[in-house]
């Protein structure tokens, strides 16, 4: 039976629970164990799909088409284990399932309550779809003390009681602040956070203390004493210079060793940290920097394009250059200052997006990249904008546009009402906003003699999608005659998946989101190639 590791956080949010879970996942996987990482989110949205990136950061899409919390991206990037729909649950999803069941009379007239009905549903989620995993790491979103996370904490308490303490481990992550005025490290917030956790019936087995500097042994003893954990299980995590150092740092602090010791398991082999050491070294010692411009709506929010930022860094590591992201807010872009804004850009990227605001600025930047022969990568909305730009300025269809933005245009981008995936017809219109998109992995067939085939070195690829609108394939010949090739198509040859410009050093648009599949230890070929081209442009 799988062993369960529950990760909670206290004192403040954003302590790096996701990164800690992901690093532990890597350390265990690298010793030959089968690992799953799951996230429970206490908010009432059914999934983060309709949440604004301003509030919640990026929506991470899995192979099987789930719109999930961005922490699942951390897990995937560190462990290279593809997350699934069943790895992320929210309070909203749980309540929505319960209410559906209640309406159908599924509770046979009983009063439906948080305990046991909500907690039972959470416990079902924890176990769901687990077969031969050695470890299941479950991260609980939010901070101890929040009202919202209480049912989750109660559920994991019950769950641990049911499967036994020898099969379940509680890790609590807290902040150990340094007070400049008294030149002291403070353990009180940690003590209080653990006290709060214990009042709900959860005694942590390991306390991970996030701190700006190393915690002296006396302070560790204090945490051990007051929090009722052994001193070896007080693990410090001092701010790392790059996140790629995290698995190394947790290994040095013996996190994986203490976890295995708790479960009375002998390590099969030492985790391999060489690849992390190598890339940490590269990141810390790379001097050459190139500017990549990202033009989008949410560029000033740190996590809104998390996977994208990461994928660009991965491409940079591969090419031994540092990436300086110039984030340009598209709706603040004036048409007459584009040249100045993009003056230093060695590459231009338009990411995914929704809605009209800022689109004219994006289209003008694409025109600039196309004419000035600056490497350009358009992702999803970015590719759709590139099609509009080309249709307007090269094919001279002045009113070319997307029906997403305006109905009174010539639709070079539009809605396909139906398409088939594995024989199932999915409706594209007339539905709630949640759940009407082409989501998850789809195949694309790459054309011979194309730049894209040269990049992937494959005939057929599978990439993750998240969009409603498609490129109108009826204009394909017109586009191709003028040098914009549809170099990747859906297997039935109906949906354009990749476009590229013939007479340009590097101009590619993709309907999917390659950033979700890039890993620090396995950079995505498209990003490596884009950065390589941008580096050449810089060196020109």
Active site residues: 380, 513, 515
Q: State how far the alpha carbon of 8 is from the alpha carbons of 55, 464, 518, in Å.
A: 21, 30, 27
When binding is defined by CB under 6 A, the residue of 10, 53, 316, 353 that contacts ligand GLN is: 353
Q: Would you say 275 and 482 are in contact if contact means Cβ atoms under 8 Å apart?
A: no
| 493 C-beta neighbours (distance < 10 Å), count | 11
When binding is defined by CB under 6 A, the residue of 33, 60, 251, 469 that contacts ligand GLN is: 469
Residue 436 in the binding site for ligand GLN (CB under 6 A): no
From the CB of 465, what's the least distance to ligand GLN, in Å?
8
When binding is defined by CB under 6 A, the residue of 10, 42, 315, 352 that contacts ligand GLN is: 352
Give the binding-site size for ligand GLN (rule: CB under 6 A).
10
Here the tokens at position 27 are 């350390």
From the CB of 353, what's the least distance to ligand GLN, in Å?
5
Q: Would you say 419 and 428 are in contact if contact means Cβ atoms under 8 Å apart?
A: yes
Closest-by-Cβ residue to ligand GLN is 352
Q: Where are the alpha helices (DSSP H) in 131-216?
A: 150-163, 188-199
From the CB of 86, what's the least distance to ligand GLN, in Å?
23
Q: Would you say 358 and 297 are in contact if contact means Cβ atoms under 8 Å apart?
A: yes
Return the number of the residue (252 or 406) whose C-beta is nearest ligand GLN.
406
Return the number of the residue (167 or 327) whose C-beta is nearest ligand GLN.
327
| 288 C-beta neighbours (distance < 10 Å), count | 12
From the CB of 354, what's the least distance to ligand GLN, in Å?
4
- Report residue 228 CA to chain centroid gap: 35
Return the number of the residue (341 or 466) whose C-beta is nearest ligand GLN.
466
Radius of gyration of the chain (CA): 25
Residue 381 in the binding site for ligand GLN (CB under 6 A): yes
The strand pair at 400-402 and 376-379 is best described as unpaired
- The stretch among 46-54, 464-472, 477-485, 524-532 that binds ligand GLN (CB under 6 A) is 464-472
Return the number of the residue (227 or 498) whose C-beta is nearest ligand GLN.
498
Q: Where are the beta strands (DSSP E) in 373-459?
A: 376-379, 400-402, 410-415, 418-421, 424-427, 438-446
Q: ∠87-93-94 over CA atoms, to 5°?
A: 95
Q: State how far the alpha carbon of 314 is from the alpha carbons of 279, 281, 500, in Å.
A: 9, 13, 23
First to last CA, the chain: 58
When binding is defined by CB under 6 A, the residue of 74, 172, 314, 466 that contacts ligand GLN is: 466
- The 10 Å CB-count burial string (b at 16+, else e) for 70-90 is bbbbbbbbbbebbbbbebbbb
From the CB of 440, what's the least distance to ligand GLN, in Å?
13
Return the number of the residue (93 or 467) whose C-beta is nearest ligand GLN.
467
Q: What is the DSSP string of 74-99?
A: HHHHHH-----GGGEEEHHHHHHHHH
- The stretch among 42-50, 157-165, 347-355, 428-436 that binds ligand GLN (CB under 6 A) is 347-355
Binding-site string for ligand GLN from residue 393 to residue 432, where x marks contact by CB under 6 A and - marks none: -----------x----------------------------
3-state DSSP assignment of residue 383 = helix
From the CB of 61, what's the least distance to ligand GLN, in Å?
9
- The stretch among 234-242, 274-282, 466-474, 518-526 that binds ligand GLN (CB under 6 A) is 466-474
- The stretch among 8-16, 351-359, 444-452, 490-498 that binds ligand GLN (CB under 6 A) is 351-359
When binding is defined by CB under 6 A, the residue of 107, 226, 263, 354 that contacts ligand GLN is: 354
When binding is defined by CB under 6 A, the residue of 467, 504, 524, 532 that contacts ligand GLN is: 467
Which residue ranges make up the site for ligand GLN (CB under 6 A)? 352-354, 380-381, 404, 466-469
């Amino acid at each position: 039976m799988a062993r369960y590791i529950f990760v909670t956080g206290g004192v403040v949010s954003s302590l790096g629970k996701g990164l800690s879970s992901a690093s532990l996942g890597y350390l265990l996987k690298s010793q030959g164990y089968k690992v799953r990482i799951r996230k429970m989110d206490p908010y009432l949205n059914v999934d983060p799909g309709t949440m604004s990136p301003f509030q919640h950061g990026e929506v991470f899409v899995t192979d099987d088409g789930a719109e999930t919390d961005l922490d699942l991206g951390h897990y995937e990037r560190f462990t290279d284990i593809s997350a699934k729909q069943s790895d992320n649950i929210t309070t909203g999803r749980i309540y929505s399932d319960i209410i559906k069941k209640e309406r159908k009379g599924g509770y046979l007239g009983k009063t439906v309550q948080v305990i046991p009905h909500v907690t039972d549903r959470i416990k079902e989620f924890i176990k769901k779809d687990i077969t031969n995993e050695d470890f299941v790491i479950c991260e609980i979103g939010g901070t101890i003390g929040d009202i919202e996370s209480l049912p989750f904490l109660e559920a994991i308490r019950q769950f641990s009681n049911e499967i036994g303490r020898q099969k379940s481990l509680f890790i609590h992550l807290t902040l150990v602040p340094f007070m400049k005025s008294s030149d002291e490290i403070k353990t009180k917030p940690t003590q209080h956070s653990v006290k709060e956790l214990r009042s709900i019936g959860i005694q942590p087995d390991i306390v991970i203390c996030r701190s700006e500097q190393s915690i002296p042994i006396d302070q560790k003893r204090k945490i051990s004493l007051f929090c009722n954990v052994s001193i070896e299980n007080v693990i410090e995590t001092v701010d790392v210079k790059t996140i790629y150092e995290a698995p190394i740092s947790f290994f040095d602090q013996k996190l994986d060793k203490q976890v295995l010791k708790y479960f009375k398991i002998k390590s099969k082999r030492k985790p391999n940290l060489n690849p992390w050491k190598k890339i940490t070294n590269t990141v810390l010692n790379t001097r050459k920097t190139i500017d990549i411009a990202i033009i989008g709506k949410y560029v000033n929010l740190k996590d809104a394009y998390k996977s994208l930022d990461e994928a660009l860094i991965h491409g940079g590591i591969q090419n031994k250059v540092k990436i300086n992201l110039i984030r340009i807010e598209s709706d603040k872009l004036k048409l007459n200052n584009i040249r100045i804004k993009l003056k230093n850009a060695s590459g231009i990227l338009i990411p995914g997006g929704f809605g009209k605001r800022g689109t004219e600025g994006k289209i003008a930047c694409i025109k600039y990249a196309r004419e000035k022969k600056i490497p350009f990568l358009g992702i999803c909305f970015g590719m759709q904008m590139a099609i509009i730009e080309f249709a307007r300025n090269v094919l001279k269809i002045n009113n070319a546009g997307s029906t997403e933005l305006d109905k009174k245009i010539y639709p070079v981008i539009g809605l396909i009402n139906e398409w088939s995936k594995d024989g199932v017809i999915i409706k594209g219109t007339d539905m709630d906003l949640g759940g009407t998109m082409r989501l998850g992995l789809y195949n694309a067939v790459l054309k011979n003699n194309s730049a894209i085939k040269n990049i992937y070195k494959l005939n057929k690829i599978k990439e993750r999608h998240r969009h409603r609108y498609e490129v109108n394939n009826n204009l394909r010949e017109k586009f191709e005659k003028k040098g914009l090739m549809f170099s990747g198509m859906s297997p039935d040859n109906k949906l354009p998946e990749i476009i590229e410009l013939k007479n340009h050093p590097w101009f590619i648009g993709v309907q999917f989101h390659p950033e979700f599949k890039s890993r620090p230890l396995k950079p995505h070929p498209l990003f490596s190639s884009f950065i390589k081209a941008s580096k050449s442009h810089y060196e020109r």
